Amino acid sequence: MQNKFSFEGALSAPFKAAHFNSFPWLFAFTYALLVTLLLGLFLFMAQGAIGEFIAAIESLENANIDEDDPGAIMALMFGTMAPLLPFALIGAIASWVVYAVFLAASMRRYVRDERFRLGFGGDEVRMMVVSLLWWLLSLVIFFIPISLMVSTFRTVVALSPGGLSESAIEAQLLGGMLGGAGMFLIFLPVYIFVATRLAPCFGLTIKDRRIRFFDAWNVSRGRFWPILGAFIILYVVVSIISMVIDQILQFTLVTSLTPQFMNMSDPDDILSILSSGAFLSMMGVYVFIASFVAAIQQHVIHAPAAFAARHDPRGGVDDAAQIDIFN
């Protein structure tokens, strides 16, 4: 690991950080195994709710609703998803915890040169807080375009029973969506700038063992382009590799399953295939490999910001180590 911050150091950090021969692979394998097991457990626990959801979807054909009333249609659709909402909430919380646990492990490698280990202590709790602040920051920045889209949809739903024509509804929806998309494009550079300046917050929090969110602004001062440039290069490279692997997996999966679903129209037969051991095994392998690749991707793209946090201009990790030699 280089002892000075630079673009080259930020770009090479995933490969020159400590424990390259073991850490990324243990990190990705453990993440993929945990995600696969948790997904299987989730599906097992939610199978009753999923059955209710499928039955509700099938009953929509016989539902006596006004097809010209978007409000009634949306209310019915949200009603069909009601059995899944508790499991969706549990899944969101579990995802938040898993993300924080593995992010803490990733930052410990980059900032403290630690080997791969998982736990749930101060580091992980602080990562949960910082990741929540990051999500709230994203929500605040994109609040206006999101509000525009939601308000447009609510207006159309409220006015549609009053006799709006289908073309008028489509025009209002299209206008709102295009307006929201335009606002997203306007706010995107703001998000990129703020996100890049605050990106070292995760590594800085691990380095100082205290929640350091807005303080990351000081760490990235004068380093905006090296951090962003290294992130973009790493992101593009690993994304291309991930997409190629995912396309190969999907092609293999589709070609294996297509013969079983051809000329099959009975829902019971389809459900029996979806619940068969062969199908679940293939899906398990797909989820495991896809999660393995995703874990590598996430670990790699976090490196430039973590490298900046390691080399905090007010006192970096390597600077402190050199001073300790003389103590």
Largest interatomic CA distance in the chain: 82
Give the per-residue pLDDT at 166.
62
CB 300 within 8 A of CB 239: no
- The number of beta carbons lying within 10 Å of the beta carbon of residue 186 is 11
CB 191 within 8 A of CB 294: no
- Here the tokens at position 68 are 């010209």
Give the per-residue pLDDT at 201.
96
Give the per-residue pLDDT at 325.
45
CA 192 from chain centre, in angstroms, equals 17
Q: What secondary structure letter does DSSP report for 314?
A: T
Which pLDDT tens digit goes with each residue over 192-243? 999 999 999 999 999 999 999 999 999 999 999 999 999 999 999 999 999 9
Give the per-residue pLDDT at 240.
95
Instruction: Using alpha carbons only, give the angle 283, 284, 289 rounded to the nearest 5 degrees.
Output: 100
Give the per-residue pLDDT at 251.
86
Give the sign of the dihedral formed by CA 40, CA 45, CA 47, CA 50.
negative
Give the per-residue pLDDT at 327.
46
CA distance 186 to 180: 10
Buried b / exposed e along 23-43 (16+ C-beta atoms within 10 A): bbeebbebbbebbbeebeeee
Q: Which amino acid would we find at residue 196?
A: T
In this prediction, the residues of the chain whose per-residue pLDDT falls under 50 are: 321, 323-327
Helices (H) and strands (E) in the chain, counts: 15, 0
Q: Residue ranges per domain, the chain?
A: 7-318
Give the per-residue pLDDT at 49.
72
Give the per-residue pLDDT at 326.
44
Nearest to 198 by CA among 221, 214, 211: 214
Residues in the chain: 327
